Structure 1
């Protein structure tokens, strides 16, 4: 998974803050050239922060927090600055938390075909890590990555130009089956990994003027509406309005993945924008031209869970902040190992602040196709979850 720089902490320590986003900024529905230019500029700012994400992941890997042999291959920039220890720990916890949810998804009825759709995937390495660890997974998991064409073209080029990465991908294909790459290098189609150049806002069907709704949904080759599906969103949906965010999710829950099919979403986003720490976070992002339209609407764990239910994940919802996940989901021996990666963590108070301002939320719905589908998300339902805040 991508592992972002966490913007506000570096500012608090006197460094230069960098945000995390993968192409969800701005509002592209303006009619005047100046509005269109402004929207394009916002999109460019958010797209470009994928380099911050890959840099943070690489920092955490090189300092021993986690293992990812693909981290350098998908870091497209020349420099790879070392991040602060609290940033590296945050990257580790976020990765571990979402890996935990993905593992539980893949472990349910393990022989059954499954599908993962990563929204705003950017330089994410999750598919490669999964398939390297278990090559047989490529034959029962179809993986989709959606992002702006600017980011998908970089991803595909990196795959082609790095023999180790390309071999992992080619080995995942059934014998005699070839991948298909678009002429402009922005789209990859295969039975195992698919990279789609898609502006997620083109999936919205509600919350925008009817005249501006695209006439058809974006083309998503190899999307299977009939296999259990997990959506992933890591600091992605927070860059569009709350209404469009819900509309995008409802397109998945009502149109792309029909009600009969088990479906879930795991997301990672900042919360608590109104306390002093949150206000600093937003100010730092604003200096870079980055806005978080959803953070006030989905500002707490409770509201994040309500959001998932409203979007169609009525089977159940959970949410926990990074600090709680660190103490409850990460084993004590692993916490000790991570804690010694840079000789211990000095910024304990800053870590506590950071960890309380980012959360992982998860929600699901069972299918209606039989007993197996009705209990598909049982492992998620049994997860420990953090109690809602007192608001």
Structure 2
């Protein structure tokens, strides 16, 4: 998961445990885990390593937001190396991290509340060090959670889980040791997502294809060529036999002045969002969902629209967040937040009921600006 761009640049222009336990599966990528030690690293390996390392940025931003009170999360600190210092991010970074997390959590919890009479799947693409599984176990009693990522990102997470089982005071395992609840399960799949788009894609061990399923991609599919990203989505939608929902968090609007600077900044770090030109707007993100077969409904909002909407963030909660830090970069916040979006689409009644009333259709401003804005 990528972090948002550097502000200084922008200003200048345990395995095998059943129940609420942890498993590993899938196919590992063929490259060496630490490609930086190879004497002749290929260009492809370099790109993969850069993408893998963006998880560090996202985790650092989340830790900053947690430390300052934006988010409640007892788990992320245990998923990073022990003793890792918390780097304080700019206020607009913290606010963006908060809105991103709250929006996706809202969509997930609404789905789980409508499907709690039976089991549900959540599939997180490029999950990295994300703590969402543990946070969701506080909200639901029926959940099978699958995380897919490079071996280089799965291995340290598995190591953190192993450390947790050796520590009776760990937040990651406390609930399991106390009540032995076996209604939720967690599965780590070390896999290159591009393998899912190939002619002979691998199986995903212990994934029940008959359950209602929500797929998450937070700045993950955007690193793939557009046709490959579509093929990854199709891998799931063509196999899943019940309701399917997809939630994406991605950058948009690369062609205005701010967007060009954002793309240039990311490029200087070797980060290339390959789907950004094709899915450059809220409208193209909605159309993307429909073309993927998620034709029961589609929605998209940029982060600033979500921040300003009481349907997503109630006034009292927005005032609480505004009181955490003084933010004098109001125009920068608007610009940055309007260049990232959350998009969602679905087929199946459970999602229609869960996401009813959230909106997500084209706004009057979009219509005035014309198609593709």
For Structure 1 versus Structure 2, the TM-score category normalised by the shorter chain is 0.7 to 0.9
Change (3 A) 1:37 1:276: same
Aligned equivalents of 1:304, 1:34: Cα separation in 2:
41
Q: Could you say which residue in structure 1 is the equivalent of 2:298?
A: 317
Change (3 A) 1:314 1:58: same
Structure scoring higher RCO (CA < 8 A, sep ≥ 6) equals: 2
Q: Could you say which residue in structure 2 is the equivalent of 1:356?
A: 338
Q: Could you say which residue in structure 1 is the equivalent of 2:192?
A: 199
Which of 362, 368, 380 is the matching residue for 2:355?
380
Helix, strand or coil for the counterpart of 1:363? Answer: strand
**Aligned-CA RMSD value:** 2.4
Which of 271, 284, 295 is the matching residue for 2:265?
284
Aligned equivalents of 1:376, 1:42: Cα separation in 2:
36
Counterparts of 1:235-314 in structure 2, within 5 Å, are 235-255=219-239, 257-258=240-241, 261-314=242-295
Helix, strand or coil for the counterpart of 1:223? Answer: coil
Counterparts of 1:320-339 in structure 2, within 5 Å, are 320-328=301-309, 329-339=312-322
Q: Could you say which residue in structure 2 is the equivalent of 1:72?
A: 77
Aligned equivalents of 2:308, 2:178: Cα separation in 1:
36
Aligned equivalents of 2:350, 2:124: Cα separation in 1:
23
Deviation at 1:70, TM superposition (A): 1.2
Helix, strand or coil for the counterpart of 1:102? Answer: helix
Which of 105, 113, 127 is the matching residue for 1:121?
127
Q: 1:173 touches 1:192 (CA, 8 Å); kept in 2? A: no
Helix, strand or coil for the counterpart of 1:314? Answer: coil
Report the TM-score when normalising by structure 2. 0.84
Q: Which runs of 5+ in 2 are unaligned?
A: 13-30, 32-37
Report the TM-score when normalising by structure 1. 0.80
Q: Which runs of 5+ in 1 are unaligned?
A: 15-27, 178-189, 206-212, 367-373
Change (3 A) 1:10 1:88: farther
CA deviations 1:145-173 (Å, max 9, x no partner) are 00001100111101121331442474499
Helix, strand or coil for the counterpart of 1:5? Answer: coil
Q: 1:6 touches 1:87 (CA, 8 Å); kept in 2? A: yes
Helix, strand or coil for the counterpart of 2:122? Answer: strand
Aligned equivalents of 2:80, 2:64: Cα separation in 1:
11
Does residue 100 in structure 1 map to residue 126 in structure 2? Answer: no
Deviation at 1:36, TM superposition (A): 7.6
Does residue 231 in structure 1 map to residue 203 in structure 2? Answer: no
Counterparts of 1:131-280 in structure 2, within 5 Å, are 131=137, 133-134=138-139, 137-138=140-141, 140-162=142-164, 163=167, 164-168=170-174, 170-171=176-177, 192-205=185-198, 213=199, 215=200, 217-255=201-239, 257-258=240-241, 261-280=242-261
Deviation at 1:10, TM superposition (A): 3.8
Aligned equivalents of 1:60, 1:298: Cα separation in 2:
28
CA deviations 1:68-91 (Å, max 9, x no partner) are 111211233834311000000000
Aligned equivalents of 1:35, 1:250: Cα separation in 2:
35
Aligned residues between the structures: 335
Q: 1:105 touches 1:377 (CA, 8 Å); kept in 2? A: no
Deviation at 1:314, TM superposition (A): 1.1
Q: 1:272 touches 1:299 (CA, 8 Å); kept in 2? A: yes
Change (3 A) 1:62 1:191: closer
Change (3 A) 1:57 1:376: closer
Aligned equivalents of 1:231, 1:313: Cα separation in 2:
12
